[in-house]
Chain A
Amino acid sequence: MYGRRACQLVKELSSAEKGQLTGFNSDMFDQVVKECSTHYLELQSLMRKIQEEGMDIQTTRNADHFGMVIHHLSLMRNKRCLMAYVYNRAEIIRNLRWKIGPVLPQEIHEKLSYSEEEYFKNHSTALESYMSELELDLTVDMVPPKDPYIQVRVLDDIGEVLLSDQSANLARHSMHFLKRIDAEQFISQGLMEELTG
């Protein structure tokens, strides 16, 4: 109550490593929402008490009024914590589309709530329709390019893949000389690594 649990929810976000996503804590989220209802009911009962005693609700400054103020402030605090929780997670989710691509791995799926997955899908669709209008893929070349081709080693079995200039068999531990824009997606998903020197 009084914002303590809501703050714990926010602390979960701050204790995670930078940029990492924790699982959506829907239990705690629902508890905070219930606390908001409790505060509201207390607020209403204090308001009725003031009105029953025949005092003016706008100008009275007695003990009931300050009780009302505290409940109201706790409600606003809970709201702020909940909004911050959702807002900061949404920011990470938006970045997912740019870093990983349109398909999320299972380990990330488990951490998202249903509405967050919808949010990701809609954001992804909006981005793709924008990119297809421009006929330009904006999610490649996130690091300024030095060379159009790079040397890569494959870490996980991907199999036969048709790339923009060649068709390659991406078996594990094989090395290839690929175009940057093809390799970039695979590297950020952790399926390949860049070889230097």
Chain B
Amino acid sequence: MAHYYDIDEIIVEEELVSAVFQKAANGVGILDPSAETNSVEQGSKVELPFWLAHELLQRQAVTINVPACFNQKTRKEIQADAPCVDLRSRCPYFYELGCKLAPLVGDRTIGSLLLQAFLSRYKEVLSKAHTAASTPVPKVLTILTKEETNLYETAQSSMAAFKKWRMGGPRFQRASVLGRKRKPTD
């Protein structure tokens, strides 16, 4: 139940993966931009969203190739210096997509790649979160995936809560759903 309504799950599954059709399919020609008729030919290579590719794989209608964000170039960069790799531009849901793909693609090295990347990066993320000021936005934020950004923001808010507890301060807050305070008109 928790997965069905989860917004991040839905957005992760929309990421495109490259799939080769093992069987033809009629009436869905829009999926393949190079199709001449309203159908996808057997053997054609199409970019499909993950949710569709996953279901069709289970019905043995397609095979899935590993997407570009897990290719050799990215792997070398991660081995060289993981905290500096711009994972957000490769794939903002790097870890989530990798976890979902690993059992489907038959590539055993994806799991260890994800682990290695995360281990090297999370230390940077946490140390920057605890020491950096909130403005200007540190450069590290622009290269983080969604999961790492959540980690960063959680660390920052826990740091802020700790400081507030130490200093004391107003414990009642304006309801956050009301948005930014307008300037009082004089």
Chain A residues packing against B (C-beta within 8 Å)? 1-4, 7, 10-11, 13-14, 18-21, 42, 45-46, 49, 61, 63-64, 66-71, 73-74, 77, 80-81, 83-84, 87-88, 92, 95-96, 99-100, 105, 107-108, 143, 146, 150, 155-156, 172, 183-184, 187-190, 193-197
What separation, in Å, do the CA atoms of A63 and B22 have in the docked complex? 11
Question: Interface residues of B, CB < 8 Å — how many?
Answer: 38
| A2 and B30 contact, CB distance less than 8 A | yes
B2-28, CB < 8 A from A: 4-8, 10-11, 14, 23-28
Look across to chain A and name the residue whose beta carbon is closest to the beta carbon of B24. A63
| A7 and B11 contact, CB distance less than 8 A | yes
Taking a contact as CB atoms closer than 8 A, the residue among B4, B169, B171, B176 that contacts A84 in the complex is B4
- Nearest chain A CB to B20 CB, angstrom units: 14
What separation, in Å, do the CA atoms of A19 and B170 have in the docked complex? 21
What separation, in Å, do the CA atoms of A19 and B157 have in the docked complex? 15
| Residues A45 and B27 in contact in the complex (CB < 8 Å), given A13-B7, A190-B174 | yes
| B49 and A100 contact, CB distance less than 8 A | no
- Nearest chain A CB to B161 CB, angstrom units: 12
A-B contact list, 20 entries, CB within 8 Å: A2-B52, A10-B10, A10-B11, A13-B7, A66-B24, A66-B26, A66-B61, A67-B28, A69-B25, A77-B51, A84-B4, A92-B177, A95-B177, A99-B175, A108-B177, A156-B184, A183-B172, A189-B178, A190-B174, A196-B170
* Shortest 6 CB-CB contacts between residues of A and residues of B: A67-B27, A66-B25, A194-B170, A63-B24, A99-B175, A67-B26
Residues of B within 8 A of A83 (CB): 4-5
| A2 and B5 contact, CB distance less than 8 A | no
Residues of A within 8 A of B7 (CB): 10, 13-14, 84, 88
B33 within 8 Å of A (CB atoms): no
Taking a contact as CB atoms closer than 8 A, the residue among B10, B59, B168 that contacts A81 in the complex is B10
Look across to chain A and name the residue whose beta carbon is closest to the beta carbon of B178. A190
B136 within 8 Å of A (CB atoms): no
What separation, in Å, do the CA atoms of A49 and B49 have in the docked complex? 27
- Nearest chain B CB to A164 CB, angstrom units: 17
Residues of B within 8 A of A88 (CB): 5, 7
Residues of A within 8 A of B6 (CB): 84
Residues of A within 8 A of B173 (CB): 187-188
Residues of B within 8 A of A183 (CB): 172
What separation, in Å, do the CA atoms of A135 and B40 have in the docked complex? 66
| B61 and A20 contact, CB distance less than 8 A | no
- Nearest chain A CB to B178 CB, angstrom units: 6
B115 within 8 Å of A (CB atoms): no
